[in-house]
Amino acid sequence: MADCGSRATYSTFFAIDKSGGICLEKSIDEFIYHLAIERGLAENTLVSYRADLSRFLSFCRKHGKQLLEQVDKDLIMSYLFHLQLNGRSPATISRLLAALHSFFLFAVREEYLVTDPSADLESPKISQKLPRVLSIEEVDLLLGLPRTNEPAGLRDKAMLELLYATGVRVTELVSLDLEHVHIENGFILCLGKGGKERMIPLGDVAARCIEEYLTLGRIKLCKTGGSSALFLNQHGRRLTRQGFWKIIKKYALKANIKIEITPHTFRHSFATHLLENGADIRSVQEMLGHADISTTQIYTHLTRNKLKEIYNRSHPRA
């Protein structure tokens, strides 16, 4: 911890040192508190912000800077150069700089700083890396692998079908409770980033697989009878992110599919296949839970590439 004394303000974290300067570490603490309480960001996002800003804090300490007002543009540029020299990718540097931008904007807004020392610094150019997606044949192969004559297989089948049918994130998938699934009406209620709830159509196949899992599988996995979680592990407790990753890896290995398959591969495939088959981008944005449509637009690049392939393969003058 930095050598800073505390004073009473609206936050429990804010502190000044003996000279009256603002403690950098405590101001970062207050920023994280602001993200959690006032903006309601998810725990994983808070952990990411904390880790990124702690890395910058360590760099500042090594250069003898422990006060917020000691941080200037030159120091931040030195930090970015240090990251580059240590082999950090443009994407990582861009993310770390974005965290600093958010932090210093907060500091200016709270009048801890007069100006933002990171304001004129731009993120490094990042080549847009298109997500890898599964073909419809590969999806069919994966979804046909779980053994539905046993409870775990029924669960796996229901999870994979739900993942592909809705495009939910893995955290959203394992966070689903029984009350979030409305099979008779054909939709699920999903709690996404920032605590935002969205309704996603389920589809007949996924609905049928979930119903079979609830009737024949979950009842055998549920040891105590008190869990509200939709998907349970072998001990009757809520399946974790790590547990689901292992399941995905197991079926990917069985399928012998060449590309690396993660839970997000299903999300990418869901969005791409919808757009390829005529879905409008605004609807896909809503189902994915993207706050900004520019995030969804990456999938239009994939569908354009697909159209080019079809054209080159089919047109006599291609």
Catalytic residue ranges: 169, 193, 264, 267, 290, 299
For 114, other C-beta atoms within 10 Å of its C-beta total 8
